[in-house]
């Protein structure tokens, strides 16, 4: 049986492309440019699938979806949008659309999704989102997978592992997962593993009974009890002590725990979201993180992109932070935005935020000029080594290589120098030696910092004859 598809988009070129991509012997495709035209078509025909843009000449495509639901018109819907933010994705999911796709459209993905849509049934939706709850700012393409995943998880209690560099906004993603879940009216509790002495983490997590240890003068509840019925966000999960990992695993498996020094079993109804800037797989290989716990935490993985991978968001974020910290009294010169976009921001969104905190306080000017931006960025670069900026190391190596090749040019025959292996070896040995020294000879920590397997590290130490200083 033929399937009817309606495409709603004001861009005639895009409509033609979509019609061509989706046309086959099993489909009849109609296309219109507005909501009013769409209603004419819908009043005369039944459509198995509607593909609609959000921003239309005579209204909002999401409002069209709402009206289709109100009128109980049983059709599947795919939302396509250049208005790429978290709210759009969440609203689309709330309205139980089959899929949300950001523009520009990947035609291969679209054809697969359309094929699935024409075979499956829609499911009911009951969760509604407050528009004021928007913790994440950014509409870049790199953020779209994040938004789509958050939107799809709002009816589940699945554990989520959030990965990404420091300063990318992992806690904001966790907050969004909570705010857009059915636990939104309960507590969102945050525990940073790196901020608590390792010997205290167990008692902080699970609480303790009076007299459990020296200084335990009264029974105290832990973070699990504080987060009951809500969400517990475990930041820097890679820093959790190995022995505590076993207790966390038990809670995830059995849904119960006991306070430190206590015998009473406490049932736990808490959703766990964790985050790390470490590679937990490598931590597992190095023997510092439990493999079974890793798979329990990593049911759904969300990777938050670095700011250099979402450069188009720099302008949006910059204006937001400046407006926030100056209380709307300052604005950015257009030329300043280009400078901000071209900076690497190794500290990611957190660095950008702190940058504008400083700007808002130190400068009385109403307009932040390129001169101000350059001066402050220069100070940033002078006062800190950008270890995440690959160019900083590359530039240094290039300078050394220039000297090397200048000397080499004076030799007549350089054909058999085996430069690649020679130079790689010369760089590799001091790198491993200095990293070992930095980690006080601890090979597990060294392998994690270098990002190589511990067995590989041992092999390199032997091959390169590296002497470890005690």
Q: Are residues 319 and 252 in the same domain?
A: no
What is the spatial distance between Cα 29 and Cα 450, in angstroms, rounded to a whole number? 55
Residues 194/330, Cβ–Cβ less than 8 Å: no
Residues 332/365, Cβ–Cβ less than 8 Å: no
Residues 224/267, Cβ–Cβ less than 8 Å: no
Torsion sign across C-alpha atoms 397, 402, 406, 411: positive
Residues 62/34, Cβ–Cβ less than 8 Å: no
Asked if residue 20 belongs to a domain, the reply is yes
Q: Are residues 72 and 190 in the same domain?
A: no
Asked if residue 11 belongs to a domain, the reply is yes
Of 337, 366, 383, which residue is a domain's last? 383
Cβ-proximal residues to 323 (8 Å cutoff; 6+ apart), any chain: 330
> What was the pLDDT predicted at 255?
92
**Both tokens of residue 263?**
């015998």
Q: Are residues 204 and 273 in the same domain?
A: yes
Residue 149 Rama label (left phi>0; alpha psi -120 to 50; beta): alpha
Q: Are residues 277 and 316 in the same domain?
A: no
Asked if residue 139 belongs to a domain, the reply is no
Checking DSSP bridges between strand 3-8 and strand 300-303, what pairing results, if any? unpaired
Q: Are residues 298 and 317 in the same domain?
A: no
Asked if residue 146 belongs to a domain, the reply is no
Predicted TM-score of the model (pTM): 0.61
Q: Residue 350 sits in a domain of what CATH number?
A: 1.10.8.60
Q: Are residues 159 and 259 in the same domain?
A: yes
Domain span at residue 336 reads 308-383
Q: What are phi and psi of 173, to 5 degrees?
A: -65, -45
Give the count of domains, the chain. 4
Of 303, 338, 373, which residue is a domain's last? 303
**C-alpha closest to that of 168 among 357, 8, 308, 9:** 308
Asked if residue 388 belongs to a domain, the reply is no
> What was the pLDDT predicted at 233?
97
Asked if residue 367 belongs to a domain, the reply is yes
Preceding omega of 104 cis (within 30 degrees of 0): yes
User: C-alpha 375: how far from its chain's center?
Assistant: 31
pLDDT means over runs of 10, the chain (470 residues)? 88 91 87 91 86 90 83 83 73 78 85 83 40 66 85 89 94 92 92 88 91 85 94 94 92 92 92 94 89 95 93 90 91 90 90 93 91 83 49 63 68 66 78 84 81 83 75
Checking DSSP bridges between strand 76-81 and strand 160-163, what pairing results, if any? unpaired
Q: Are residues 265 and 374 in the same domain?
A: no
Asked if residue 125 belongs to a domain, the reply is no
Q: Are residues 91 and 47 in the same domain?
A: yes
Asked if residue 400 belongs to a domain, the reply is no
Of 251, 279, 303, which residue is a domain's last? 303
b/e code 157-193 from CB counts within 10 Å (16+ = b): eebbbbbbbebbbbbbbbbbbbbbbebbebebbbbeb
Q: Are residues 179 and 272 in the same domain?
A: yes
> What was the pLDDT predicted at 314?
92
Residues 320/360, Cβ–Cβ less than 8 Å: no
Q: Residue 443 sits in a domain of what CATH number?
A: 1.10.10.60
Q: Residue 79 sits in a domain of what CATH number?
A: 3.40.50.2300
Q: What are phi and psi of 257, to 5 degrees?
A: -160, 170
Q: Are residues 8 and 68 in the same domain?
A: yes
> What was the pLDDT predicted at 129?
39
User: C-alpha 443: how far from its chain's center?
Assistant: 30
Q: Are residues 32 and 76 in the same domain?
A: yes
Rounded to 5, what percent of the chain is helix, strand, coil? 50, 15, 35
Total Cβ atoms within 10 A of residue 117: 23
Residue 445 CA: distances (Å) to CA of 159, 284, 442, 452: 27, 12, 6, 11
**Both tokens of residue 5?**
């598809």
Q: Are residues 168 and 293 in the same domain?
A: yes
Rg (CA), the chain: 28
Name the DSSP letter for residue 332: E
Task: Give the containing element (helix H, strand E) for 260.
Answer: none
């Amino acid at each position: 049986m033929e399937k009817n598809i309606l495409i709603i988009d004001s861009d005639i070129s895009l409509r033609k492309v979509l019609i061509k991509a989706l046309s086959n012997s099993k489909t009849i495709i109609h296309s219109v440019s507005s909501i009013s035209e769409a209603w004419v078509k819908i009043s005369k025909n039944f459509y198995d699938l509607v593909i609609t843009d959000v921003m239309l000449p005579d209204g909002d495509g999401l409002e069209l979806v709402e009206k289709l639901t109100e009128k109980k018109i049983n059709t599947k819907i795919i939302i396509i949008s250049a208005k790429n933010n978290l709210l759009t994705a969440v609203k689309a999911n709330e309205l139980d659309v089959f899929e949300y796709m950001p523009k520009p459209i990947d035609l291969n993905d679209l054809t697969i999704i359309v094929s699935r849509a024409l075979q499956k049934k829609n499911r009911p939706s009951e969760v509604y989102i407050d528009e004021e709850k928007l913790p994440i700012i950014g509409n870049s393409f790199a953020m779209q997978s994040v938004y789509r995943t958050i939107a799809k998880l709002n009816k589940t209690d699945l554990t989520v592992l959030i990965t990404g560099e420091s300063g990318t906004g992992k806690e904001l993603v966790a907050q969004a997962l909570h705010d857009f879940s059915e636990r939104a009216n309960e507590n969102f509790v945050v525990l940073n593993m790196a901020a608590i002495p390792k010997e205290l983490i167990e008692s902080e997590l699970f609480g303790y009974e009076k007299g459990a240890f020296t200084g335990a003068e009264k029974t105290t509840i832990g973070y699990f009890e504080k987060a009951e019925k809500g969400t517990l966000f475990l930041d820097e999960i890679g820093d959790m002590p190995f022995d505590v990992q076993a207790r966390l695993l038990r809670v995830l498996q059995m849904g119960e725990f006991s306070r430190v020094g206590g015998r009473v079993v406490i049932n736990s109804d808490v959703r766990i979201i964790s985050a790390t800037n470490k590679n937990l797989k490598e931590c597992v290989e190095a023997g510092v993180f439990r493999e079974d716990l890793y798979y329990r935490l990593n049911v759904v993985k969300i990777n938050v992109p670095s700011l250099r991978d979402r450069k188009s968001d720099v302008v949006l974020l910059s204006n937001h932070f400046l407006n926030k910290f100056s209380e709307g009294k300052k604005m950015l010169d257009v030329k300043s935005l280009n400078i901000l976009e071209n900076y690497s921001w190794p500290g990611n969104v957190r660095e950008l935020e702190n940058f504008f905190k400083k700007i808002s306080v130190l400068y009385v000017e109403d307009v932040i000029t390129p001169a101000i931006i350059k001066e402050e960025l220069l100070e940033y670069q002078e006062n800190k080594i950008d270890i995440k900026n690959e160019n900083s190391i590359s530039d240094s190596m290039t300078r050394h290589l220039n000297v090397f090749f200048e000397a080499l040019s004076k030799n007549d025959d350089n054909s058999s120098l085996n430069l690649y292996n020679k130079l790689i070896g010369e760089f590799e040995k001091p790198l491993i030696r200095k990293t070992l020294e930095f980690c006080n000879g601890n090979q597990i920590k060294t392998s994690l910092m270098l990002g190589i397997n511990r067995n590989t590290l041992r092999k390199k130490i032997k091959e390169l004859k590296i002497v470890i200083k005690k």
